[in-house]
A and B are shown apart, each in its own frame.
Chain A
Amino acid sequence: MRIALTADPYVNPPPGGLDGLAILAEAGWGVMQLPAADYPPQTAARMLAEVAEQVQEFRRHDYEFVVVGECAGLAGALAGAGLPLPDQIIPATADELRGFLESRPAPAAGHWARLVERARHRTGASASGKP
Chain B
Amino acid sequence: MGVAFVAHCMLNQNSKVWEGAHCPGVYSPVVDVLRAKGWRIEQMPCPELAFSGLNRFWAVREQLDTPAYRRHCRRLAVAVADMISMRAERGEDVVLVGVEGSPSMGVRITSSDPAMGGKPEWPEGSTEHTDGEGIFIEELRAELGRRGIGFPRVGGETHALPSHDEAAQRAGLESVLGGR
Contacts and interface: CB of A to CB of B under 8 A. Distances in A.
Interface string A32-62: 1101101110110011001101100110110
B14 A58 contact: yes
B130 interface: no
Interface residues of B, number: 39
B50 A30 contact: no
Interface string A58-100: 1011010000000000000000000000000000000000000
A7 interface: no
Contacts of A43: 79, 82-83, 86
A131 B49 contact: no
A57 B49 contact: yes
B50 to A, nearest CB: 5
A39 B18 contact: no
A1 interface: yes
Secondary structure call for the A interface: mixed
A21 B26 contact: yes
A31 B82 contact: no
Given A43-B83, A50-B79, A53-B50, A3 B14 contact: yes
Contact of A129 (B24, B50, B57, B79): B57
B119 interface: yes
A95 B40 CA distance: 24
Contacts of A53: 50
Given A21-B31, A30-B11, A125-B119, A12 B41 contact: yes
B14 A30 contact: yes
13 contacts: A21-B31, A25-B26, A29-B25, A29-B26, A30-B12, A31-B26, A35-B83, A53-B50, A54-B50, A60-B54, A129-B17, A130-B17, A131-B120
Interface of B: 8, 11-15, 17-20, 24-26, 28, 31, 40-43, 45-46, 49-50, 53-58, 76, 78-79, 82-83, 86, 119-122
Given A30-B11, A47-B83, 16 more contacts: A2-B25, A24-B25, A30-B13, A30-B24, A30-B25, A33-B41, A43-B83, A50-B45, A50-B76, A54-B46, A54-B49, A60-B54, A61-B54, A125-B119, A129-B57, A130-B57
Interface of A: 1-3, 11-12, 21, 24-25, 27-33, 35-36, 38-40, 42-43, 46-47, 50-51, 53-54, 57-58, 60-61, 63, 111-112, 115, 125-131
Which 6 residue pairs of A and B lie closest in terms of their CB atoms, listed nearest first?
Answer: A131-B120, A129-B18, A30-B12, A25-B26, A129-B19, A28-B24
